[in-house]
Structure 1
Amino acid sequence: MLAWIVWLIVAAVLGVAELMTTTFALGIIAVGALVAAGVGALHVALPFQLLAFVVASGAGLGFVLPIARRHIKQPPLLKTGPAALVGRSASVLEEVTGQSGRVRIGGEVWSARSYDETLVIPVGHMVDVMQIEGATALVYPRE
């Protein structure tokens, strides 16, 4: 069997294994096997195919893998949904206590509780949204 076909089979097996593990490492090594398959398709001797495999895999693991992992661990640049409400100001529609209350955030009415359970915030005061728990905003009065 031709060596480049063996390299393609190795790359395919590594690619499937990458899909099962999602570690990125096996995928990068699979790319190294594809490089070796390309070198093998040019009818270059086996030691040079192995060298191409080692160099491509090493370069990928040394340079590409850290960049990919750093990129995956970054928080999203744009907050959406309830997370986007944290830090916004709101006006109190119903007195807010540690157990209940209502506030208007943007154009929406939300159930609310005081972030500090001992505080009672009267109607009309401005508050800051500190946290969202389910469909309830935890708020703290503005100074």
Structure 2
Amino acid sequence: MVWLWWLGGALVLAVVETLSADLTFIMIAGGALGGAAAAGLGANLTVQVIVFCVVSVLLLFLVRPWAKAQLARRTPHMLTNVEAKIGREATALTAVDIHGGRVLLAGEEWSARLADPQADHPAPPVIPAGAHVRVISVDGAVAVVRSE
């Protein structure tokens, strides 16, 4: 009957893992399953705790690093926050020049300035309101843009 307590502990740890997503609690849950197996085979409580500890430590130090590496390799890199703004199209709300202006970017109003003109992509000295621009970088809270 003690194996049910170990199984319940493993389930609770698995639920906690869904909140942390760090693969720590699921490894300890594996240790609890080891303790449940030891209890199911009739081992005394001392052996059950030893099995729990050994399995947990092995999973934490041998399986967890490998599993995290596999997840990192298979999970696509998602651009977030400022990274997600770079390369997006925006609309000039006011005239935008190298000193400043305002653009509508992803439904939000942003301060903007025109990127320094380059030889391969000459930019007009002022982008008029209503023109479409592309964000090439973000400098603090200012979108640096280039005309489309």
* TM-score when normalising by structure 2: 0.50
**Which residue number corresponds to residue 62 of structure 2?**
62
* Aligned-partner Cα distance in 2 for 1:39–1:66: 26
Shift of the 40–114 alpha-carbon distance from structure 1 to 2, 3 Å rule, reads: same
**Which residue number corresponds to residue 100 of structure 2?**
100
Does the alignment pair 1:140 with 2:146? yes
**Which residue number corresponds to residue 126 of structure 2?**
121
**Which residue number corresponds to residue 19 of structure 1?**
none
Which deviates further from its counterpart, 100-109 or 64-73? 64-73
Percent identity, aligned pairs only, is: 30
Q: Which ranges of 4 or more aligned residues in structure 1 deviate by more than 6 Å?
A: none
CA-based RMSD: 4.8
* Aligned-partner Cα distance in 1 for 2:24–2:89: 45
The unaligned stretches of length 5 or more in structure 2 are 14-19
Shift of the 105–34 alpha-carbon distance from structure 1 to 2, 3 Å rule, reads: closer
CA contact (8 A) 2:86 2:136 kept: yes
1:103 Cα deviation after fit: 2.2
CA contact (8 A) 1:25 1:61 kept: no
* Aligned-partner Cα distance in 2 for 1:106–1:26: 38
The aligned runs of 1:30-69 (5 Å cut-off) are 31-32=30-31, 34-44=33-43, 54=54, 57-58=57-58, 61-68=61-68
* Aligned-partner Cα distance in 1 for 2:107–2:33: 55
1:88 Cα deviation after fit: 1.5
The unaligned stretches of length 5 or more in structure 1 are 16-21
The residue type equivalent to 1:127 in the other structure is V
Shift of the 137–32 alpha-carbon distance from structure 1 to 2, 3 Å rule, reads: same
1:64 Cα deviation after fit: 4.2
CA contact (8 A) 2:102 2:111 kept: yes
The residue type equivalent to 2:126 in the other structure is I
CA contact (8 A) 1:112 1:139 kept: yes
Corresponding residue SS for 1:111 = strand
**Which residue number corresponds to residue 16 of structure 2?**
none
* Aligned-partner Cα distance in 2 for 1:70–1:113: 41
* TM-score when normalising by structure 1: 0.52
Count of residue correspondences: 130
The aligned runs of 1:18-37 (5 Å cut-off) are 24=23, 28-29=27-28, 31-32=30-31, 34-37=33-36
